[in-house]
């Protein structure tokens, strides 16, 4: 199947970036759909801001920016968004019931041969596929934040995902300038979060136990393990609430060893979520 048009459902943090990569790098026509005009406008603004940053770095020309923006078609109408799409990427907030509702509606209006992918970071692919009538054409396609810069896409098989679907998404991944990693079992946390969440949780425990300052913990991991960013800075970027939600899925679906640190829960309760709330382990208001 030749891929020409991609629908992205959700214009938020991940959705706008996925739409941009599909239009800018893969040069697909992209329908970007959300439920409110303000969400669409905000998504288009973030895409423009990102393209301007590429322009400043000399990686794109003014003419290319206009071409990219010309390939992105924002809409509030689900039917219009998915009717002629070859691939549909769902990127709505990380809530199983919300995702299932959106996926069922997309499935109803999509052409029979279209592949539906979900950008979930923690919810079972098999469970989400059950909201559609095409489980063999349903797959996990997990982008990393920000999608414009991060090179990895985890491709996750559901219980019924066909080889053909996995291979098509792997090709699309490469066309988007990304590297695919295939996750052969639909298991919570996939590859990256299963390794990352315990590491972040231990960094929080070190702070909680007063073993070292957040600055020194980050410095130790950056210089000692060659991470581009320390774990506590990364937590502030990811959002402590998002991290807690993923940890809770891992505990429920995999093993009690993923139990989140009490300090993580306490900070989420206090609204100290990291960058998005202005304060987490660091003060972002400055």
* Active-site residue set: 121, 142, 154, 193
- Give me the phi and psi of 281, to 5 degrees please: -75, -20
Alpha helix ranges (H) inside 78-182: 78-82, 96-109, 125-129, 163-175
**Cα separation, 79 vs 220, whole angstroms:** 51
Q: 90, 48, 56: which is closest to 72 by C-alpha?
A: 48
DSSP lists the bridge partners of residue 132 as none
CB contact at 8 A, 226 and 219: no
229 dihedral zone (left: phi>0; alpha: psi -120 to 50; beta): beta
Which runs of E-coded beta strand occur in the chain?
Answer: 5-9, 29-33, 72-75, 87-90, 115-118, 138-143, 152-157, 179-183
Round to the nearest angstrom and report the end-to-end CA distance of the chain. 50
Token pair in block for residue 190:
């996939």
Residues 6+ apart with CB under 8 A from 185: 157
**Cα separation, 43 vs 154, whole angstroms:** 23
CB contact at 8 A, 82 and 5: no
**Cα separation, 93 vs 82, whole angstroms:** 19
């Amino acid at each position: 199947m030749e891929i020409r048009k991609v629908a992205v459902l959700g214009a938020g943090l991940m959705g706008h970036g996925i739409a941009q990569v599909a239009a800018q790098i893969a040069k697909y026509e992209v329908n970007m759909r959300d439920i409110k005009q303000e969400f669409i406008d905000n998504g288009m603004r973030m895409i423009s801001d990102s393209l301007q940053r590429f322009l400043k770095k000399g990686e794109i020309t003014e003419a290319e920016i206009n071409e990219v923006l010309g390939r992105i078609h924002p809409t509030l109408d689900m039917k219009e968004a998915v009717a002629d799409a070859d691939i549909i990427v769902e990127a709505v907030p990380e809530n199983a019931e919300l995702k299932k509702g959106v996926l069922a509606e997309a499935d109803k209006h999509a052409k029979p041969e279209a592949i539906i992918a979900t950008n979930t970071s923690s919810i079972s692919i098999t469970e989400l596929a059950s909201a559609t009538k095409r489980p063999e054409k349903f797959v996990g396609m997990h982008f990393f934040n920000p999608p414009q810069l991060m090179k990895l896409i985890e491709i996750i098989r559901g219980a019924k995902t066909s080889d053909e679907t996995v291979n098509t998404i792997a090709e699309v991944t490469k066309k988007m300038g990304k590297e695919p990693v295939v996750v052969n079992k639909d298991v919570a946390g996939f590859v990256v979060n299963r390794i990352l969440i315990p590491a972040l949780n231990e960094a929080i425990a070190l702070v909680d136990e007063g073993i070292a300052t957040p600055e020194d913990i980050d410095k130790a991991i950056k210089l000692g393990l060659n991470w581009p960013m320390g774990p506590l800075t990364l937590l502030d970027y990811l959002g402590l609430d998002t991290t807690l939600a993923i940890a809770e899925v891992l505990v429920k679906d995999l093993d009690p060893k993923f139990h989140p640190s009490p300090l993580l829960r306490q900070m989420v309760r206090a609204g100290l979520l990291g960058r998005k709330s202005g304060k987490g382990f660091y003060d972002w208001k400055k």
